[in-house]
Amino acid sequence: MIRTFAEMIKFEHSVFALPFAIVGMLYAAGGWPGWKPFLLILIAMVAARTAAMTFNRIADRQLDAKNARTRNRALPAGRISLRAAWGFLLASVALFFASAALLNSLALLLSPLALAILLGYSYTKRFTPLCHLFVGLALGIAPAAAWVAVKGVFSWTPLFWILTVMFWTAGFDVLYALQDETFDKAHNLKSIPAALGRAPAIAISRLFHVLAIVFAVCAGIVVSAGLPYYVGCAFAACLLTYEQSLVSPANLSKLDVAFFTMNGYVSIAFGFFAILDVLTMPHQALPL
């Protein structure tokens, strides 16, 4: 049963946002913040993502049942009951709020807003082709949330990291949506591939990834990052270039590799170099 729930929420995809949250945490603290905030941030991240994915599966269960690609997911296939899914969602939300409360008062105050973004993106594809950017925002708030968790005050400093993750995620989400272009059109679902077609969608995905690297560099400038951070940006740019080379309007056979494998590498590689930077280079006190 545990394996079924983990499969439902695609637990392995946690690798996408988690390194960025750790980066936000370390730069906010100017180094290692201690085990308590780290563990609470980790728990909050996992709980928030679990709630978001569970709600997404609940909201999309009827659509998933109609789509040949998704009809074997746990909810439409009946391996998990709707009641059990709702219970799992409520438990995840409770754990998220509890973790936020133990971090600081501002984290708790902002947690309903974060949850609204995380849950709300599931419905955006019903009314806007820009749904990919909403998915990106849901992941993009991770470094800002970690910053608030450490600092306990609001700051614009993580803004460029939010934009980095938002456009990076939107870029690969557009690619992922290519496989559902026909289904989305038939069921009046909105996506960039359904709205514009395959070739323009791939071009927009590439533009989003260029913007992601630009914003990552801007984020480094804001926090006075050292050389390892920019090496990470360059490495991520190379990986994204290779990812984009795997997909073309005439060939989507390597879409799974482009979506999961390469983006996992992007996140881990960027996180590694950014963490190396913040832990090995002297930094001046960052603005609140």
Token pair belonging to 225: 């990052």
Residues pairing with 251 in the sheet: 248
Q: Where are the beta strands (DSSP E) in the chain?
A: none
Domains of the chain: 2-280 (1.10.357.140)
Distance, in Å, from the CA atom of 144 to the CA atom of 161, rounded to the nearest integer, reads 8
Vertex 12 angle, CA 8 and 15, to 5°:
135
Residues 6+ apart with CB under 8 A from 125: 131, 184, 189, 190, 191
Tens place of pLDDT for every residue, the chain, 288 residues? 667 766 666 666 667 788 999 999 999 999 999 999 999 999 999 999 999 999 999 999 999 999 998 898 889 988 999 999 999 999 999 999 999 999 999 999 999 999 999 999 999 999 999 999 999 999 999 999 999 999 999 899 999 999 999 999 999 999 999 999 999 999 999 999 999 999 999 999 999 999 999 999 999 999 999 999 999 999 999 999 999 999 999 888 888 777 778 888 999 999 999 999 998 876 544 544
Residues 6+ apart with CB under 8 A from 190: 124, 125, 126, 127, 128, 129, 131, 184
DSSP state of 79: S
pTM summary value? 0.92
